Structure 1
Amino acid sequence: MKVAVVGAGAVGSSIVRELAGHGHEVLVIDEKPDAIGRADLRNSGWIVGDACDPAILREAELEQMDVMVAATGDDKVNLVVSIMARSEFGVPRTVGRVNNPKNEWMFDQAWGVDVAVSTPRLITALVEEAVEVGDVVRLLNLQSDRATLNAFTVPHGHTVIATTVGEVPWPQDATLVAILRDGMPIAPTRDDVIEAEDELFFLATGDGEHQLQVLFSR
Structure 2
Amino acid sequence: MSDVLENLRDLGAREYDKTGFPRLLRAGGLLIGIFVVGTLGYWSAAPPEYTLLDCAYMTTITLTTVGYGEVIPVEGNSSLEAFTIGLIIAGMGIMLYFVSSLTAFIIEGELRDLIRMRRMDREIDKLENHLIICGIGKTGVHVLREVLQSNQPCVVIERSRGRIDEELEELGEEFLYIVGDATHDNVLQHAGIERATGLIASLGNDRDNLFVTITARSLNEKVRIVSRGEHPEAEQKFKMAGATSVIYTNVLGGLRMAAEAIRPEVTTFLDLMMQDHEHYRRVEELPVPNNSPLIGLTIRDTRIRQHTDALVIAVYREQDGEYIFNPGPDYEITTGTKLIVLTLVDDIETLEALIRGEL
Q: Deviations over 1:156-201 (max 9, x none)?
A: xxxxxxxxxxxxxxxxx98563xxxxxxxxx35499xxxxxxxxxx
Counterparts of residues 136-147 of structure 1 (less than 5 Å): none
Q: Deviations over 1:105-133 (max 9, x none)?
A: 3221x211101110112123334555679
Larger radius of gyration between Structure 1 and Structure 2: 2
Contact 1:73 1:99 in 2 (8 A): no
1:68 lines up with 2:164 in the alignment: no
Q: Deviations over 1:28-82 (max 9, x none)?
A: 0011111112433734210011111112112222111110000111111111111
1:32 lines up with 2:160 in the alignment: yes
Contact 1:68 1:91 in 2 (8 A): no
Q: 1: distance between equivalents of 2:176 and 2:222?
A: 18
SS of residue matched to 1:104: helix
**Where does the alignment leave 5 or more consecutive residues of structure 1 unmatched?**
134-172, 178-186, 192-218
Distance 1:86 1:131, change over 3 A: same
The AA in structure 2 aligned to 1:124 is: G
Contact 1:2 1:26 in 2 (8 A): yes
Q: 2: distance between equivalents of 1:60 and 1:91?
A: 16
Distance 1:126 1:25, change over 3 A: same
More strand by share: 1
Q: Which residue of 2 aligns with 1:8?
A: 136
SS of residue matched to 1:62: coil
Q: 2: distance between equivalents of 1:18 and 1:79?
A: 23
More helix by share: 2
Contact 2:182 2:212 in 1 (8 A): yes
Q: 2: distance between equivalents of 1:190 and 1:128?
A: 35
Q: Deviations over 1:8-42 (max 9, x none)?
A: 11211111111112111110001111111243373
SS of residue matched to 2:203: coil
Identity of aligned residues (%): 27
Q: Which residue of 2 aligns with 1:156?
A: none
- Out of 108, 114, 118, which is 2:248 matched to? 118
1:20 lines up with 2:148 in the alignment: yes
**Where does the alignment leave 5 or more consecutive residues of structure 2 unmatched?**
1-128, 264-320, 331-359
Contact 2:184 2:215 in 1 (8 A): no
**How well do the aligned residues superpose, as a CA RMSD in angstroms?**
2.8
Contact 2:226 2:245 in 1 (8 A): yes
Q: 2: distance between equivalents of 1:130 and 1:16?
A: 24
- Out of 188, 194, 214, which is 1:57 matched to? 188
Q: 2: distance between equivalents of 1:39 and 1:6?
A: 14
Report the number of matched residues: 143
1:81 lines up with 2:209 in the alignment: no
Distance 1:174 1:58, change over 3 A: closer
The AA in structure 1 aligned to 2:242 is: G
